[in-house]
Structure 1
Amino acid sequence: MLGYIVLVLAVAGAPAFAGDQLTFPEVARGAARIVSGWEAQEGQIPHQISLRMVNPGGGVSSCGASLIHHEWALTAAHCTAARVSLVLRFGTVNLTRPALIQESTEYYNHPSYNEAFPGVVQPNDIGVIKLRRPVEYTDLIKPVRIQRSADKDKSYDRVQLTASGWGLLWTQATSPENLNWVYLLGVENSYCRVRYGFSSIIQDSTICASAYNVSSQSTCQGDSGGPLTVVDVDGQLSVVGVTSFVSATGCHTDFPAGFIRAGYYHDWYYQLTGINFDWDPEEAGSGEGSSEGSNENSNEDSNESSNESSNENSNESSNENSNESSNENSSESSNGSSESTSEEDK
């Protein structure tokens, strides 16, 4: 079944995108949450961040985000566009007991995302937040790796994925205090395009996911910007998508949810942060953008090489000095000289 089609016309500078039943999880009708999922346990999803956004009028709304570095978080552009302040809660399952709270006013949305129209579903709905202070990793606060660029076009059809967030629990329900998560199944973009009436929003940089084993399973209100993760080829977790949109018919209906493929934007991440978040399975580190692991390995190799060179030079210098001293002493002794030369290693 195809849903009704809504065309967003290019009026007064608005971008022309085909709406095709698309909306943000925050405004979807019907059931609204990580729908038909389960409550998370302490430390189960340590990269999950709760995001509260304040607009110029003082209104507050909520989204999710992912910790990807000591100083950076990943979220959806529509969550941060036109906001004046962001409050981030880290290391929490229950929103009343966060391990850490920070406020930030520094965020960067992808340059192809039109911030003048945050209420319009758009492609490239991705952004990063600069943390005010570096976050210290603990058992409850850990980063998640970004999908590597080599897999940016990978098919996740019928692959088990995981979404998480603090969305509402059901139709007209209140927002939960506890973090929820749900399994979803990846679907081909071709299928997603058909279900959404060939919407121009479904691009190569989109990944869609449907219910895993209960037709109502999905993301919804309060889940935007949060992570869609997969257990990757090396057995480690990677964030493959950023929660972006759902069907306007409701989160619980049998339409795929839409996410932005995180692996599509590595050049932009690097240009913006100076950090290489890309990685290779054979060199994968502890789960953070592999740049830190690579830098640490590089520094260790450099230090080992430097120490070896230093030791070799020191040994050579010591041997040369010892030989020179021995030769000089021997020569001077044979000449009846009482002088001797010694040199300490410095």
Structure 2
Amino acid sequence: MLGALVIVALVGTAFADPNLAFPEDVRMSASRIVSGWEAQEGQFPFQLSLRMVNPAGSVFGCGGSILSAEWGLTAAHCTANRVTIVIRAGTTNLTRPSEIFETTTYFNHPLYNEIIQGTVQPHDIGLIKFGRSLTFGDLIQPIRIQNSLSMNKNYAGQLATASGWGATWTGGSSPEVLNWVNLRLTSNEECSAAYGGSAIIAPSTICTRGVDNPTQSTCQGDSGGPLTNIDEDGLITQVGVTSFVSYYGCHVGQPSGFIRPGHYHAWFTQVTGIDFDWDYAAPTEAPEPTTEGPEDESPEVPDSPEVPDSPEVPDSPEEESPEVPDSPEEESPEVPDSPEEESPEVPDSPEVPDSPEVPDSPEEESPEVPDSPEDESPELPDSPEAPESPEAPESPEAPESSESSESSESSESSQSSESSSSESNESDE
């Protein structure tokens, strides 16, 4: 057993790099989120504050992030060999958390060696089981983690944001208000060269430098916290878990190191039973069911108005249509065509002859025009048809027009009996 321990220790020393250290172990530096700013309420709803207690009763501070209502993500060196973890969620000020609770359940990656916890090593990533379900709201929300497709992506030159409650000085107390800082992501090649080709800079590592100030960095108390980036689809994604900085200090301008969560989706699912992986096609497929929804309802909307509209249009002419056949227009096929276009107002208004349709009728009956020289209006060819139909005397419109009666009497002057009656009518008028 002792031989086995010696072998593990030797393997552990293979990862040891005197140039690297955990933020909690950095000396002679203003240990905190260096050159950053205080966060606003609700700015980082996925941020967690962790306070861990070891078997000796010592308390250590770290950060973390919310993966789901029951699971959190942090660095393995934060939870290794701890007996209990106090978690605060939904706050920027540690004195006013939305939720505070305790858990003893955590899972560090199997390739992380807890025996050499004080040594920086790869696979520095772990899961925390809350033992309860968080209530999501404006101050508490999960964060989307890097997908497996982007686990080896080169983010060089892109901006990222780190946040945490790092101590204001080495070994000092942590600030009450959450701090954050913008950082520039670097390539792994640049990060490895900065640390002399260290084997710690593995494919699962991602590094950052200051954006406009070389002292911008994570530091003591920020370990396990999130490093986020605006992804290709415009959404915030956690691309790193705070892990290490330069042994010489957080403010010396050396890259800060983080662990890429995209390398560990299979392990996340194995432990939690939840698949946190995703792809960029998912957001484009999401709107499809929403567009299909209105398409299914769209045919119902036009159907409802069409049903009442269709009967109303034929009903109006059908009710007035029986009045048209009662008139002498039954004998002329052209008259029923005009009421359909001009509505039943044609017989009531004397202005009908002014419409373009009226001169069309006399053109067909043009041979009858010379027979009556006294015709002053195009209605004369229609008037002789009135006496032929028995319904003419029944309509009150025939006697109302004196001109039509005179024309009809003049056309029938050949009969002596009727001529006398016409002259008497003229004299009375």
TM-score category (smaller protein): 0.7 to 0.9
One-letter amino acid matched to 2:254: F
Query: Secondary structure, in 3 states, of the residue corresponding to 1:116?
Result: helix
1:168, distance to aligned residue in structure 2 (A): 2.0
- Correspondence for 2:181: 182
1:64, distance to aligned residue in structure 2 (A): 0.2
Equivalent residues of 2:73, 2:125 under 8 A apart: yes
Equivalent residues of 1:35, 1:170 under 8 A apart: no
Q: 2:17 aligns with which of 16, 19, 34?
A: 19
Query: Secondary structure, in 3 states, of the residue corresponding to 1:69?
Result: coil
Cα distance per residue 1:61-90 (max 9 Å; x no partner): 000000010110000000000000001000
- Correspondence for 2:56: 57
TM-score by length of 2: 0.63
- Correspondence for 2:93: 94
Unmatched 5+ residue regions in structure 1? Answer: 1-8, 286-292, 305-346
Query: Secondary structure, in 3 states, of the residue corresponding to 2:116?
Result: coil
Q: Which segment drifts farther, 164-173 or 217-226? A: 164-173
1:116, distance to aligned residue in structure 2 (A): 1.0
Equivalent residues of 1:18, 1:200 under 8 A apart: no
One-letter amino acid matched to 2:222: D
One-letter amino acid matched to 2:41: E
Unmatched 5+ residue regions in structure 2? Answer: 1-5, 294-429
**CA–CA separation in structure 2 for the residues paired with 1:171 and 1:118:** 20
Rg larger for: 2
Cα distance per residue 1:86-127 (max 9 Å; x no partner): 010000100000000111111000000001111111100000
The structure-2 alpha-carbon separation of the partners of 1:269 and 1:172, relative to structure 1 and needing over 3 Å to count, comes to closer
Percent identity among equivalent residues? 56
Considering fraction of residues, name the structure with more strand.
Answer: 1
**CA–CA separation in structure 1 for the residues paired with 2:260 and 2:7:** 26
**CA–CA separation in structure 2 for the residues paired with 1:12 and 1:154:** 33
1:30-45, aligned counterparts within 5 Å? Answer: 30-45=29-44
1:283, distance to aligned residue in structure 2 (A): 1.4
Equivalent residues of 2:16, 2:119 under 8 A apart: no
**CA–CA separation in structure 2 for the residues paired with 1:280 and 1:39:** 33
**CA–CA separation in structure 2 for the residues paired with 1:250 and 1:79:** 19
1:170, distance to aligned residue in structure 2 (A): 4.9
The structure-2 alpha-carbon separation of the partners of 1:164 and 1:109, relative to structure 1 and needing over 3 Å to count, comes to same
Query: Secondary structure, in 3 states, of the residue corresponding to 1:86?
Result: strand
What count of residue pairs does the alignment treat as equivalent? 283
Query: Secondary structure, in 3 states, of the residue corresponding to 1:143?
Result: coil
One-letter amino acid matched to 1:215: P
One-letter amino acid matched to 1:221: Q
**CA–CA separation in structure 2 for the residues paired with 1:247 and 1:33:** 14
TM-score by length of 1: 0.78
Query: Secondary structure, in 3 states, of the residue corresponding to 1:267?
Result: helix
- Correspondence for 2:220: 221
Q: 2:26 aligns with which of 12, 25, 28?
A: 28
1:274, distance to aligned residue in structure 2 (A): 1.1
The structure-2 alpha-carbon separation of the partners of 1:172 and 1:112, relative to structure 1 and needing over 3 Å to count, comes to closer
**CA–CA separation in structure 1 for the residues paired with 2:9 and 2:242:** 28
1:60, distance to aligned residue in structure 2 (A): 0.5
1:175, distance to aligned residue in structure 2 (A): 2.3
**CA–CA separation in structure 2 for the residues paired with 1:171 and 1:82:** 22
**CA–CA separation in structure 1 for the residues paired with 2:212 and 2:221:** 22
**CA–CA separation in structure 2 for the residues paired with 1:175 and 1:58:** 18
1:171, distance to aligned residue in structure 2 (A): 6.2
Considering fraction of residues, name the structure with more helix.
Answer: 2
Cα distance per residue 1:141-169 (max 9 Å; x no partner): 00000101100011110100000000023
Q: Which segment drifts farther, 122-131 or 272-281? A: 272-281
1:279, distance to aligned residue in structure 2 (A): 0.9
Quick one: higher RCO (CA 8 Å, sep 6+), 1 or 2? 1
1:281, distance to aligned residue in structure 2 (A): 2.0
- Correspondence for 1:232: 231
- Correspondence for 2:355: none
- Correspondence for 1:245: 244
**CA–CA separation in structure 1 for the residues paired with 2:155 and 2:37:** 22
